[in-house]
């Protein structure tokens, strides 16, 4: 008889529990783990097994795992308990049932940036306790669950075929199937902060609607805005229509006005208006102005998030303002120069700024007579102009030469891709 240093969750579920006298006391239904327990230094952030869910003659009970031993006798896994000590309601509430909330559920593989399904869980027994260290997402785990792993592996070995193991370390796991309240796996969603908004958006699009909503609600406003911007239109509309108006409005305020306008343009007028009324006045007004443009006009895809400066300012002044404002990267594609009436008179680049002396004035480094577009101009000409002049962004003005915004190459590419998708359909 030897205690197991490592074992699988699927192997212990359904096993009979014997007391010190060798009499059956029940059947293992699940393991209870607690993510709040302080872990030893060599296994940080691993959930520790604190209890066993056992079906007894008197009903289902949660007993402390402290008095349980898992070992093999003649090759068969056996569970023995020397003392049945029931867990308190508080301990049960703070923990979660490992099989119920993880097996067959979707999780995020943070390293692979994708959704995967949990087929089994690997546990390790250490002096400090028993911990879940990895999830099995491979076929081997599935075969183990239905107890045909060994015969299948034997048959395949005769053919020279092996089943590759597929494990994800617990550090690289984030529970995502919130329909089963696996929110308990992590009191905060700090692990999801490691993902790029595009990756997180791809994952959310694969989720069912309830899980998608819960995950979106768990993000802070800045991250939610970045993710919403990356989602496909259908997923965007679903979230906007299903979540509280106040929550959505707060997120929309963190997004570029042109992106918000694109989303609201897909909604019913009443819903769009309720969101605009809930948003801050300044943000709402920017979006309203963009919504007034025809769908095929330059103004409909321009961004109003731009950096424009008076020609009398110095390089040092501009750099200090940029540091204070902390603009998005796209805003730095081109920097514009306007006069006292906000008329466009020139532009300069970030390179012009960096290589110039601090006391140099903007009118000394700016380029006059910039290429521009009118806000009511058709969008068909944009790609040709950007390609011809090798531009990352083009300023947009109205008929009075007042700077309204800019069209960036990202939006042009996105518009062309969307047109192609529509054409293919």
**Which CATH number belongs to the domain containing residue 120 in this structure?**
2.30.30.240
Please give the backbone phi and psi of residue 138, each rounded to the nearest 5 degrees, phi first. -95, 175
Alpha-carbon torsion, ordered 413, 240, 198, 328, to 10 deg: 70
- Cβ atoms of 132 and 45 within 8 Å: the answer is no
Domain shared by 16 and 149, yes or no: yes
Chain center to CA of 411? 23
Final residue of a domain: which of 261, 292, 323?
292
Do the domain assignments include residue 224? yes
> Based on the domain organization, do 163 and 273 belong to the same domain?
no
Based on the fold, state whether residues 38 and 123 are members of the same structural domain: yes
149's enclosing H/E stretch is helix 149-158
Please check whether residues 159 and 33 belong to one and the same domain. yes
Among positive and negative, which fits the CA dihedral 143, 147, 152, 153?
Answer: positive
Residue with tokens 């990756």: 199
Residue 61: CA count within 13 A, CB half-sphere: 15
CA distance 404 to 398: 7
Contact between 174 and 192 under an 8 Å Cβ cutoff? The reply is yes
Token pair 């200090």: residue? 320
Residues 232 and 318 in one domain: no
Give which of 37, 165, 182, 209 is closest to 103, Cα–Cα.
182
Range of the domain at 253: 196-292
390-397: long-range contacts at Cβ-Cβ below 8 A with a sequence spacing of 24 or more?
A: 391/334, 392/333, 392/334, 393/330, 393/333, 393/334, 395/306, 395/334, 395/336, 395/344, 395/347, 395/370, 396/298, 396/299, 396/302, 396/372, 397/343, 397/344, 397/372, 397/373
pLDDT of residue 44: 46
Same domain, 282 and 354: no
| CA dist., res. 61 & res. 63, Å (int) | 6
Domain boundary among 236, 267, 292: 292
Measured N-to-C along each axis, helices 382-389 and 409-424 cross at an angle, to the nearest 10 degrees, of 130
- Domain shared by 80 and 22, yes or no: yes
Answer yes or no: do 265 and 168 share one domain: no
Number of domains in the chain: 3
User: What are φ and ψ of residue 107, in 5° steps?
Assistant: -130, 165
Helix (H, G, I), strand (E, B) or coil at 417: helix
**37: Cα separation from own chain's centroid:** 26
Identify the pLDDT of residue 105: 81
Q: Residue 347 domain-assigned?
A: yes
90 within domain boundaries: yes
Using one digit for the tens of pLDDT, what is the confidence trace for 70-100? 888 777 788 889 888 999 888 888 788 888 8
Give CA–CA dist 175/185, Å, rounded. 6
Q: What is the domain-level CATH number for residue 398? A: 3.10.580.10
Q: Let me know the angle formed at the C-alpha of 39 by 113 and 11, rounded to the nearest 5 degrees.
A: 70
Domain annotation covers residue 229: yes
Domain presence at residue 299: no
Residue with tokens 């399904």: 117
Residue 300 is assigned to a structural domain of this protein: no
Say whether pTM exceeds 0.85.
Answer: no
Spatial separation of the C-alpha atoms in residues 275 and 261, rounded to whole Å = 11
238 and 209 together in one domain: yes
Q: Would you state the pLDDT for residue 35?
A: 59
Q: Looking at the domain assignment, is residue 191 inside a domain?
A: no
Tell whether 241 and 131 lie within a shared domain. Answer: no
Does the residue 179 lie in any domain?
A: no
Q: What is the pLDDT of residue 395?
A: 93
How far apart (Å, rounded) are the C-alpha atoms in residues 104 and 344?
59
If asked whether residues 51 and 109 sit together in one domain, one would say yes
**Residues 237, 332: one domain?**
no
Low-confidence stretches of the chain (pLDDT beneath 70): 1-4, 35-45, 110-113, 173-193, 411-425
Tokens of 38: 């302080």
Q: Which residues contact 399 (CB under 8 A, 6 or more apart)?
A: 374, 376
**pLDDT of amino acid 361:** 96
- Tell me what pLDDT residue 177 has: 53
pLDDT of residue 260: 93
Sign of the dihedral through C-alpha 10, 14, 15, 19? positive
Query: Are the C-beta atoms of residues 103 and 175 closer than 8 Å to each other?
Result: no
Domain boundary residue, one of 264, 292, 320: 292
pLDDT in tens, 238-296: 999 998 999 999 999 999 898 899 899 899 989 999 999 999 998 999 999 999 988 88
């Amino acid at each position: 008889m030897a205690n197991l240093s490592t074992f699988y969750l699927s192997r212990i579920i359904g096993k009979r529990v014997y007391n010190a006298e060798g009499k059956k006391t029940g059947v293992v239904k699940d393991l209870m783990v607690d993510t709040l327990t302080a872990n030893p230094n060599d296994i940080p952030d691993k959930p520790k097994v604190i209890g066993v869910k056992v079906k007894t003659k008197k009903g289902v009970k949660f007993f402390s795992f402290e008095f349980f031993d898992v070992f093999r006798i003649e090759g068969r896994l056996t569970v023995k308990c020397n003392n049945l000590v029931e867990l308190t309601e508080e301990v049960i509430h703070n923990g979660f049932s490992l099989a119920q909330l993880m097996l067959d559920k979707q999780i995020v593989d943070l390293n692979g940036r994708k959704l995967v399904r949990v087929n089994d869980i690997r546990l390790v027994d250490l002096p400090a306790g028993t911990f879940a260290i990895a999830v099995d997402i491979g076929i081997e785990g599935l075969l183990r669950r239905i107890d045909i792993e060994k015969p299948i592996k034997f048959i395949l070995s005769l053919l020279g075929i092996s089943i590759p193991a597929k494990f994800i370390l617990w550090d690289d796991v984030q529970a995502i199937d919130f329909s089963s309240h696996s929110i308990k796996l992590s009191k905060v969603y700090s692990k999801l902060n490691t993902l790029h908004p595009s990756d997180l958006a791809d994952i959310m699009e694969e989720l069912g609607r309830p899980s998608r909503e819960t995950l979106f609600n768990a993000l802070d406003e800045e991250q939610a805005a970045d993710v919403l911007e990356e989602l496909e239109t259908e997923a965007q509309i679903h979230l906007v229509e299903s979540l509280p108006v106040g929550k959505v409005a707060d997120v929309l305020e963190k997004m570029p006005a042109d992106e918000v306008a694109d989303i609201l343009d897909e909604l019913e007028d009443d819903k769009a208006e309720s969101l605009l009324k809930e948003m801050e006045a300044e943000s709402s007004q920017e979006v309203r102005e963009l919504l007034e443009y025809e769908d095929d006009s330059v103004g409909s895809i321009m961004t109003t998030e731009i950096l424009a400066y008076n020609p009398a300012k110095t390089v040092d002044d501009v750099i200090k303002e940029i540091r204070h404002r902390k603009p998005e990267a796209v805003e730095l594609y081109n920097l514009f120069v306007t006069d006292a009436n906000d008329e466009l008179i020139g532009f300069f680049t970030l390179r012009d700024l960096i290589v110039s002396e601090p006391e140099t004035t903007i009118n000394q480094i700016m380029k006059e007579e910039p290429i521009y577009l009118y806000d009511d101009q058709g969008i068909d000409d944009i790609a040709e102009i950007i390609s011809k002049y090798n531009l990352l962004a083009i300023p947009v003005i109205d008929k009075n030469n007042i700077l309204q915004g800019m069209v960036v190459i990202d939006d042009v590419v996105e518009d062309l891709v969307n047109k192609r998708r529509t054409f293919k359909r």
